[in-house]
Chain A
Amino acid sequence: LFGMALRFEVLGRFNRARAARLTLPHFVCQTPLFMPVGTQGTIKGLTTEQLEEIGCQIILGNTYHLALRPTSELIDDLGGLHKFMNWPRALLTDSGGFQMVSLLHLADITEEGVTFQSPVDGKPMLLTPEESIQIQNRIGADIIMALDDVVKTTITGPRIEEATYRTIRWIDRCIEAHKRPNEQNLFGIVQGGLDPVLRDICVRGLVDRNLPGYAIGGLAGGESKDSFWRVVAQCTASLPEEKPRYVMGVGYPLDIVVCSALGADMYDCVYPTRTARFGTALVPEGVLKLKHKAMADDTRPIDPTCDCMVCKNYTRAYIHCLVTKDAMGSQLLSYHNLYYMLKLSRNLHSSIIKGRFPEFVREFLQTMFPKGDVPEWVCNAMEVAGIDISSCCTPFSSPQD
């Protein structure tokens, strides 16, 4: 039997949505959960103490970047990434494949692996499934990701089919190469583009391998929102109930609420920290652009309903004079934005546990769309999720349900 280094216990449900306890080697997590992206072994100016303080459970590290600097061999020599960055809680690393395909020119995928030009010396290099796993074994994250054949969802035709079957062929090579199955959990990634038949083939292929968890890949890449949620809904419906489900590269707060309603458990996205660097704060109403001139005399906190360190102490006016000019501006905004995402995760978890998930979703949508203009894709997804949001969608709805 394939080793597992996690326990996944569903603690509460509402239709397809679930709240669970995910026990990983380094931390007992509560799902649904958001994983901040710490590309190079750190998250934009935040200390690990701050990340613990705001309730971060898992940090995502990028294998491609870490393999370049400081190198996986060095991380291994120094006792793994947890020790290197002094992060006591859980870590997840991606396979490195996606970063190569998206960041590098001339990356090419063959049956052997992903070939690419070394950014260091320009020489052709090859990342095989075996090598990706070997590197991730050295880094030592609680969850490691299989190397998959990533294709943009907007591409159609035989390339998608090829990528789907190759992803399934590669998972066996990943499993074979994985040397630490009792300490690290290998997640398979469902590919198949927007084609329900291919997605189904990929899900079944991966589920047959009885992996500790599954990710839904190839999304958040420019497809329509309606296609996006349908793929998530299809995959979550056919993935095993007793295993965690991770939607990769998602996303915006709204996407996370919708995906959780459809039965997904884990998310990652650079959005909260990236948008902070450009002076944008996440708030229940949507976003707040702190660079805007109007902020210069606004003496309210970023989000009056937020109880993070930044909102408790600083005005929009003061943050306005810091953003995009001073390091502290992006530090404080990243802090607030991550706090917002992690609080959203906690609220999703607790509302499911307390049996008030539909109310939570309705309040969330009412705040974000006070005029009742909830996007159609959200309405469609919520119908499939079995959550009645009709009171949020009518322009003249009364505040009481």
Chain B
Amino acid sequence: MKFAVKAWSSGKARAGVLQLGSCPGPIETPSLLLSTRKGLPHFIPPDLLYSLPSPDSHLFHVSSLHFLEGLSRQTISKIGGLHQMLGLPEHGFVCIPRDSIQCLPECNSSNKFGASFETPCGRRLIKPVEYVELISSLRPDIWTTLADEVPTWVSEKRNKTSVDRTIRWLDECIALNPAGGPVFGSIVGGCSVKERERCAQEAARRNLSGYWIGGFGLGESMDERPALLNAVTDILEEEKPRLITGLGLPEEILQGVAAGIDVFDSTYLCHLTLGGFALTFPPDGVEMNASDNIGSDQTKINLRATVYRKDMTPIVENCNCYTCKNHTKAYINHLLNVHEMLAQTLLEIHNTHHYIGFFRSVREAIKSGNFEQFRQKFVEGRCYHVAAEAAAACT
């Protein structure tokens, strides 16, 4: 793994390149880490992955907890790890324990021995040694150390304990790391700037390939986030990549980018797809014109809405994703009505394609030194719409 920052804008926002041995070309950051289920996208069949923008779509998030059951570590090793097992030799796999959908941290059951998670196979306590064994059979391109993630509402004491454990497990994971593969150190600390700083300082002191920032999207407000993010990124070495879980909405991504985050998980897209939503906002944020689209909040549309029953246009006019080039809103509306899986396949393709486009716009704004303007315009467009909607609701 190699990483280099190529451009800065508006202070801390940065554009870089992440090179992974397996990927055909460098992946430009800020970048989207695609959510998977056991290593493959939730609904996009592997033979249709070529239709997504490359190499932007080659970074996959694998939840190591998905492999606690089903097949043994020995079998995974025998097959040759994730790249071989998933038939995707040119993709980059990033192992983070949780997936934020079915596998979530369960801080009340975590203890000094390991982190606890709710998983589809029940509540499971994972110790660093088991975790690293699993990682060594999966052979990901990047993996993060085990963390004790806690939500914002825990006590100050519990938050402190979470940082202590996360640092201890960081050392244990590094010591156990058999293949010496690229490790990203986990940083937690909840809503305490002090604890965030402490955890970041400890991580920055270790020999790590990059950082994973956890504990976001667990109850903190958008307003308190910049201070927490900046507290961490101010301490981290600039030349190492920073990955985050828990920021999903376009505004949240922009908030993270402003604080100097490079890679974002895509749980948000997964929730949209499962809910029957398709992203429709202009990826560059311009022309947020008031639309007569019912079932739209200017970012996305709900394809279950009856207004799309006879709509023979694609989700987004001129979108060149597989879905928009081949199918109409009316067809997807029908598929959702009759609970056919192809609806999710088509939505996941479009949403992924669309969000990758948004990230490209973000990068362009950084490279041209206009990130802050881009962000402001984008957020204002959204606020204007929300205000217009509220005004309409009052009359």
Which A residues fall within an 8 A CB radius of B? 40-42, 44-50, 53, 65, 69-70, 74, 77-79, 84-86, 296-297, 299, 309, 312-315, 317-318, 320-322, 325-328, 330-332, 335
Is the CB–CB distance between A40 and B340 below 8 Å? yes
Is the CB–CB distance between A328 and B71 below 8 Å? no
Is the CB–CB distance between A312 and B87 below 8 Å? yes
* Shortest CB distance B148–A (Å): 27
Whole-angstrom CA separation of A74 from B37 in the bound complex: 36
User: Does B72 have its Cβ within 8 Å of any Cβ on chain A?
Assistant: yes
Is the CB–CB distance between B43 and A297 below 8 Å? no
User: Does B312 have its Cβ within 8 Å of any Cβ on chain A?
Assistant: yes
Is the CB–CB distance between A69 and B338 below 8 Å? yes
Whole-angstrom CA separation of A29 from B86 in the bound complex: 34
Tell me which of A65, A69, A78 contacts B312 (CB under 8 A).
A78
Contacts A321-B69, A328-B40 known; A299 to B78 CB distance under 8 Å? Answer: yes
* Shortest CB distance A64–B (Å): 12
Tell me which of B41, B46, B322 contacts A47 (CB under 8 A).
B322
Is the CB–CB distance between B327 and A45 below 8 Å? no
For residue A328, which residues in chain B have a CB less than 8 angstroms away from its CB? 37-38, 40-43, 45
For residue A325, which residues in chain B have a CB less than 8 angstroms away from its CB? 70, 120
Is the CB–CB distance between A315 and B46 below 8 Å? no
Is the CB–CB distance between A315 and B79 below 8 Å? yes
Is the CB–CB distance between B75 and A327 below 8 Å? no
Looking at B183-191, B329-337, B386-394, the stretch in contact with chain A turns out to be B329-337
For residue A312, which residues in chain B have a CB less than 8 angstroms away from its CB? 87
Whole-angstrom CA separation of A51 from B74 in the bound complex: 35
Is the CB–CB distance between A85 and B37 below 8 Å? no
Is the CB–CB distance between B75 and A46 below 8 Å? no
For residue A79, which residues in chain B have a CB less than 8 angstroms away from its CB? 312
For residue A330, which residues in chain B have a CB less than 8 angstroms away from its CB? 341
Whole-angstrom CA separation of A306 from B86 in the bound complex: 18
Max chain B Cβ within 10 angstroms of own Cβ: one of A85, A299, A318, A321: A318
Contacts A314-B87, A315-B79 known; A327 to B43 CB distance under 8 Å? Answer: yes
Tell me which of A53, A70, A326, A335 contacts B38 (CB under 8 A).
A326
Tell me which of B48, B67, B74 contacts A50 (CB under 8 A).
B48
Contacts A312-B87, A326-B38 known; A317 to B338 CB distance under 8 Å? Answer: no
Is the CB–CB distance between A335 and B87 below 8 Å? no
Q: Is the interface of A mostly helix, strand, loop or mixed?
A: helix
User: Does B293 have its Cβ within 8 Å of any Cβ on chain A?
Assistant: no
- B interface residues, how many (CB within 8 angstroms): 42
Whole-angstrom CA separation of A268 from B78 in the bound complex: 40
For residue B87, which residues in chain A have a CB less than 8 angstroms away from its CB? 312-314
Query: 0/1 per residue, B209-234, Cβ < 8 Å to A?
Result: 00000000000000000000000000
Max chain B Cβ within 10 angstroms of own Cβ: one of A69, A70, A332: A70
User: Does B175 have its Cβ within 8 Å of any Cβ on chain A?
Assistant: no
Tell me which of A69, A320, A326, A327 contacts B71 (CB under 8 A).
A320
For residue A78, which residues in chain B have a CB less than 8 angstroms away from its CB? 310, 312, 328, 330
Max chain A Cβ within 10 angstroms of own Cβ: one of B79, B327, B337, B341: B341
Is the CB–CB distance between A47 and B48 below 8 Å? yes
Tell me which of B45, B67, B310 contacts A77 (CB under 8 A).
B310
For residue B310, which residues in chain A have a CB less than 8 angstroms away from its CB? 74, 77-78
Is the CB–CB distance between A42 and B342 below 8 Å? yes
Is the CB–CB distance between B334 and A48 below 8 Å? no
Is the CB–CB distance between A47 and B337 below 8 Å? no
Q: A49-B48, A84-B328 are in contact. List 7 more A-B contacts (CB 8 A).
A: A44-B340, A47-B345, A79-B312, A312-B87, A314-B86, A320-B71, A321-B69
B residues 247-305 with Cβ under 8 Å of A? none
For residue B342, which residues in chain A have a CB less than 8 angstroms away from its CB? 42, 44-47
Q: Could you pull out 12 A-B pairs where Cβ atoms are within 8 angstroms?
A: A44-B341, A45-B43, A47-B48, A70-B330, A74-B309, A297-B75, A309-B46, A318-B85, A325-B70, A325-B120, A328-B40, A331-B341
Whole-angstrom CA separation of A155 from B338 in the bound complex: 34
User: Does B318 have its Cβ within 8 Å of any Cβ on chain A?
Assistant: no
Whole-angstrom CA separation of A321 from B40 in the bound complex: 12
Contacts A49-B326, A86-B331, A328-B43 known; A322 to B338 CB distance under 8 Å? Answer: no
User: Does B47 have its Cβ within 8 Å of any Cβ on chain A?
Assistant: yes
User: Does B110 have its Cβ within 8 Å of any Cβ on chain A?
Assistant: no
Tell me which of B38, B42, B74, B344 contacts A321 (CB under 8 A).
B38
Whole-angstrom CA separation of A274 from B260 in the bound complex: 49
B residues 315-362 with Cβ under 8 Å of A? 322, 326-328, 330-331, 334-335, 337-338, 340-342, 344-346
Whole-angstrom CA separation of A352 from B48 in the bound complex: 34
Tell me which of B42, B48, B328, B340 contacts A42 (CB under 8 A).
B340
For residue A42, which residues in chain B have a CB less than 8 angstroms away from its CB? 335, 340, 342
Is the CB–CB distance between B71 and A297 below 8 Å? yes
Contacts A74-B310, A296-B75 known; A86 to B341 CB distance under 8 Å? Answer: no
For residue A49, which residues in chain B have a CB less than 8 angstroms away from its CB? 48, 322, 326
* Shortest CB distance B172–A (Å): 28
* Shortest CB distance B275–A (Å): 15
Whole-angstrom CA separation of A324 from B81 in the bound complex: 23
Contacts A47-B342, A314-B87 known; A84 to B330 CB distance under 8 Å? Answer: yes
Is the CB–CB distance between B75 and A86 below 8 Å? no
Query: 0/1 per residue, B92-121, Cβ < 8 Å to A?
Result: 000000000000000000000000000010
Whole-angstrom CA separation of A47 from B348 in the bound complex: 13
Tell me which of B45, B71, B331 contacts A296 (CB under 8 A).
B71
Tell me which of A45, A296, A309 contacts B341 (CB under 8 A).
A45
Is the CB–CB distance between B70 and A320 below 8 Å? yes
* Shortest CB distance B367–A (Å): 34
Is the CB–CB distance between B338 and A321 below 8 Å? no
Nearest chain-A residue to B85 (Cβ)? A318
Contacts A42-B340, A42-B342, A45-B342 known; A69 to B326 CB distance under 8 Å? Answer: no
B residues 45-60 with Cβ under 8 Å of A? 45-48
Max chain B Cβ within 10 angstroms of own Cβ: one of A44, A46, A85: A85
For residue B344, which residues in chain A have a CB less than 8 angstroms away from its CB? 327
* Shortest CB distance B310–A (Å): 6
Is the CB–CB distance between B338 and A331 below 8 Å? no
Nearest chain-B residue to A326 (Cβ)? B37
For residue B41, which residues in chain A have a CB less than 8 angstroms away from its CB? 328
Nearest chain-B residue to A321 (Cβ)? B70
Is the CB–CB distance between A322 and B75 below 8 Å? no
For residue A77, which residues in chain B have a CB less than 8 angstroms away from its CB? 310
Contacts A84-B330, A86-B327, A326-B38 known; A40 to B70 CB distance under 8 Å? Answer: no
Whole-angstrom CA separation of A335 from B46 in the bound complex: 11
Nearest chain-B residue to A296 (Cβ)? B71
Contacts A45-B345, A47-B345, A317-B79 known; A84 to B331 CB distance under 8 Å? Answer: yes
Nearest chain-A residue to B70 (Cβ)? A321
For residue A74, which residues in chain B have a CB less than 8 angstroms away from its CB? 309-310, 330
* Shortest CB distance A5–B (Å): 25
For residue B120, which residues in chain A have a CB less than 8 angstroms away from its CB? 325
Is the CB–CB distance between B341 and A69 below 8 Å? no
Contacts A40-B338, A45-B345, A299-B78 known; A321 to B71 CB distance under 8 Å? Answer: yes
